[in-house]
Structure 1
Amino acid sequence: MTRYCVVPDRRELMATWGTGEGDLAVCIAALPTGADTAALLGLARALTQLSDAAWRTYTHPASAAESLEPNSEGWRREEERKHFSEVVEAITNPNLPRGGTMAVSYSSVLESAHRVGRALHNLDDPQLVKAVAAEVAAELAAVENAELGDLSGRAQQAVLLSREDASPVQVAAADQLLQQDPFGPDELFIGIDPTAAAVAAAHWLAAAAGVAAEASGLNPAQVVLEADNIEALPHETPTLVIGLISDGVTPHDAVTSLIGHAMHVADGLLPDPAALREQLDDLEETLAEYTGEDEPDLTDVALRLTPLDPRRPARDLLEDLLTGIHGCWLLHSEYDDLGHDEEADTDDVEEWDDEQAEQHQNGSRERFAQLVRDTAAHHHDRLI
């Protein structure tokens, strides 16, 4: 989201937002001379709350809800998104206290806009109202562009957000980047929505696991776990995603279900109580076997509610999936080297200098990358 702040010595209202490469800032307007600092900070706070509410309609779209029936979660999200068209009017003509009462909207977006309008009303500066209305219109346009898969300009802040759904445009863009570099280029973190990037990465991870499985003779769902014996890897989520895709779940559904679950946890919700009960039962059984006690003490035992970082689930998952692809190469290279080393004298291999070793590694990575490209292309229909 965009954060708004006051620059006291310059009497300016500023807007700042993050991108995949750092933060940007822009001056919104000059602030009224002599205005109370608390009133100015109240305006900045209200604008930040409005941006937060607006971007929540992006991260929690109606398309990710199970139902759009009246009064359902999907219906409420849909209604909230419709209020965008009323925001500027609410800023310029806010609900004000009358006769000791004041109308308050149930919509977070709309009520945040009214708060901005009331803060501006107290400051009583027509030029500031005009500048803030234009700024808010630009912020809402950024959300709309992100929804369409266009992360240019201010919409680039979407690369730092986790979303319960993935734009097909963004998934296709991520797929093209992985086609160029199956190990995951930096551009995936700079210009692509992380949920969409994770969907594409899940498809490429499944392809990489298939290549490594063919070389090693292992089940695809075991390859990242086996690679963990070569190099320490975050193998839990890659293994889970590979298993889901092997069972016929699409990369889109595998990724969005994991991210959505973590986002619910971050919101303080327990998405699947039945599954948690099963986890607790399994944990008790494991501890009972380990301790030999019929009723082991669970006081000091922690249970993770999600395998992802709930503060940044989409980017965390994307990082894990790309690391999983690296793990598949590690395992594949063990078997790939066996075949290629037979062509070279063993003593010569042991005497390689750093440059020769690097050339050998680059060759191994490229052979693996091309096999993954071929496999990903063969199964491209699962990504669409």
Structure 2
Amino acid sequence: MTTYAHDPAASTLLACWPTGDGAVAARVARVPRGLDPVRARRAAKALTTLSAHLWAAYAERAVHEIGALQLPEAVRHPNQPVGDLLRVMEDGCAETAHLLGRIVADAPGRAFREAVVAEVRTEIGAVLDADDGVLRGRCAQAVAHLRRDAPAEQVRLAHSLLHDDPLGPPAIVTDVEPAAAAVALLGWLRASATVVSARVGHAVPDVVALAEAIGHEDLPVVRHALCGPGGVADDELVTDLLEEAALARLGWFVLCPQRSGPAAGPEGHRAFSTVLDPLDPASCLLDGLVRGLHGCFRVWLDDVAGGSGLPAAALRERYAEQVRREIRAGR
């Protein structure tokens, strides 16, 4: 979502939104000198809450329900108290728009209110464009919002980016919805592990262990994806991982009876924890998969670099072509 703040030194409202590789900020409006700073902060808070509602609708594929035309009008003409009575809207998004309108209604002049109304329209437009698959400008923050499914066109885009750079180009986390990017990354990670496994003569779990040893890092996402139970489609695996993280964030634990292992209790129950960061599961998943791509390449490079005599760029391209061939063979 877009987060808003009041800068009292510059007397402005600022907007800041995330992208796949950092955050972007922009000035929204100049705050009138006569407006109480407390009201300016409340306006920023209401704008932030409204943005949260809008992007929640995007994540839930309910953008058609947000009232794109009614919300700006609610800010311009909010429900006002009549005596001791105030009409409160049942819809949280609409009520936030009316609250925002009541906050800015007392601002001196019209410029501030109109700038806030224009900002609401801009944020709604970004959500609508993102819902249509546009992930540029302010719409780029869509990559920070998880959708349960992975649209086919987004998966194809991710595969195209990975074909150009099988080691994971930066655009894979900035230009593609997270679930779709993860589904495509899983396929390329499996292909990479298969290529390296054939090269070094070790099974895939050993390739993962070698990648961890060479890179001096832990790769829990890669181990889960490549060394866990087989027979699960990539899109199902992505969904399971993200849902586990969502449950963990809510404080839920998954208990599986009839399982044994080092974490098993006296009755044979075992608690499983997510391999993702519950506070930022999408970025954690994508980062883990990209690290897996690079880990596989390091294992391959460690095996061939000594006797090849080729420059690093040529070795990278040679490896990339082998992975591309594996992808084509598996389709």
TM-score computed with the length of structure 1 as normaliser: 0.74
Rounded to whole Å, the distance in 2 between the matches of 1:199 and 1:185 is 15
Work out which of the residue numbers 128, 146, 150 in structure 2 matches 1:144. Answer: 128
| 1:315 alignment partner in structure 2 | 283
| 1:332 alignment partner in structure 2 | 300
Query: Which of the two has higher C-alpha Rg?
Result: 1
Alpha-carbon shift at residue 95 of structure 1 (Å): 2.9
2:34–2:108 CA contact under 8 A, matched in 1: no
| 2:26 alignment partner in structure 1 | 26
Alpha-carbon shift at residue 208 of structure 1 (Å): 0.9
For residues 4-48 of structure 1, give each alpha carbon's deviation from its aligned partner in whole angstroms, at most 9, with x where no partner exists.
Answer: 222324432222223345443333223233111111111111001
| 1:378 alignment partner in structure 2 | 329
State the superposition RMSD in angstroms. Answer: 3.1
Rounded to whole Å, the distance in 2 between the matches of 1:102 and 1:379 is 63
1:222–1:239 CA contact under 8 A, matched in 2: no
Rounded to whole Å, the distance in 1 between the matches of 2:34 and 2:320 is 63
| 1:231 alignment partner in structure 2 | 215
Alpha-carbon shift at residue 184 of structure 1 (Å): 1.2
User: Is residue 2:116 matched to residue 1:132?
Assistant: yes
Rounded to whole Å, the distance in 2 between the matches of 1:81 and 1:125 is 33
For residues 30 and 223 of structure 1, do their structure 2 counterparts lie closer, same or farther at Cα, with a shift above 3 Å needed? same
Bigger mean CA offset, 328-337 vs 26-35: 328-337
1:241–1:255 CA contact under 8 A, matched in 2: no
| 1:113 alignment partner in structure 2 | 97
For residues 70-123 of structure 1, give each alpha carbon's deviation from its aligned partner in whole angstroms, at most 9, with x where no partner exists.
Answer: xxxxxxxx4x75023332232223233334343333433222212212212343
Work out which of the residue numbers 241, 246, 251 in structure 2 matches 1:258. Answer: 241
For residues 187-234 of structure 1, give each alpha carbon's deviation from its aligned partner in whole angstroms, at most 9, with x where no partner exists.
Answer: 323433333322221111011122123334444455323432433343
User: Is residue 2:60 matched to residue 1:61?
Assistant: yes
Matching residue's letter, 2:194: G
Rounded to whole Å, the distance in 1 between the matches of 2:116 and 2:75 is 8
Give the 3-state SS of the residue equivalent to 1:276 in structure 2. Answer: strand
Q: Which ranges of structure 2 fall in alignment gaps of 5 or more residues?
A: none
Number of corresponding residues: 327
Q: Which ranges of structure 1 fall in alignment gaps of 5 or more residues?
A: 63-77, 287-293, 296-302, 345-355
Matching residue's letter, 2:240: S
Rounded to whole Å, the distance in 1 between the matches of 2:329 and 2:228 is 19
For residues 125 and 170 of structure 1, do their structure 2 counterparts lie closer, same or farther at Cα, with a shift above 3 Å needed? farther
For residues 245 and 195 of structure 1, do their structure 2 counterparts lie closer, same or farther at Cα, with a shift above 3 Å needed? farther
Matching residue's letter, 1:202: L
User: Is residue 2:242 matched to residue 1:242?
Assistant: no
2:162–2:169 CA contact under 8 A, matched in 1: yes
Matching residue's letter, 1:314: A
Correspondences of 1:163-242 after superposition (within 5 Å) = 163-220=147-204, 222-242=206-226
For residues 248-273 of structure 1, give each alpha carbon's deviation from its aligned partner in whole angstroms, at most 9, with x where no partner exists.
Answer: 41x2332233123313433x252xx5
For residues 277 and 246 of structure 1, do their structure 2 counterparts lie closer, same or farther at Cα, with a shift above 3 Å needed? closer
Correspondences of 1:78-97 after superposition (within 5 Å) = 78=62, 82-85=65-68, 86-97=70-81
Rounded to whole Å, the distance in 2 between the matches of 1:279 and 1:330 is 38
User: Is residue 2:91 matched to residue 1:104?
Assistant: no
| 1:300 alignment partner in structure 2 | none
Same amino acid, percent of matched pairs: 32
Rounded to whole Å, the distance in 2 between the matches of 1:279 and 1:186 is 42
| 2:255 alignment partner in structure 1 | 276
Alpha-carbon shift at residue 164 of structure 1 (Å): 3.3
Matching residue's letter, 1:276: L
Rounded to whole Å, the distance in 2 between the matches of 1:184 and 1:248 is 23
Rounded to whole Å, the distance in 2 between the matches of 1:94 and 1:214 is 67
Work out which of the residue numbers 153, 164, 167 in structure 1 matches 2:137. Answer: 153
| 1:50 alignment partner in structure 2 | 50
For residues 378 and 91 of structure 1, do their structure 2 counterparts lie closer, same or farther at Cα, with a shift above 3 Å needed? farther
TM-score computed with the length of structure 2 as normaliser: 0.84
Rounded to whole Å, the distance in 2 between the matches of 1:234 and 1:173 is 29
2:155–2:183 CA contact under 8 A, matched in 1: yes
For residues 110 and 305 of structure 1, do their structure 2 counterparts lie closer, same or farther at Cα, with a shift above 3 Å needed? farther
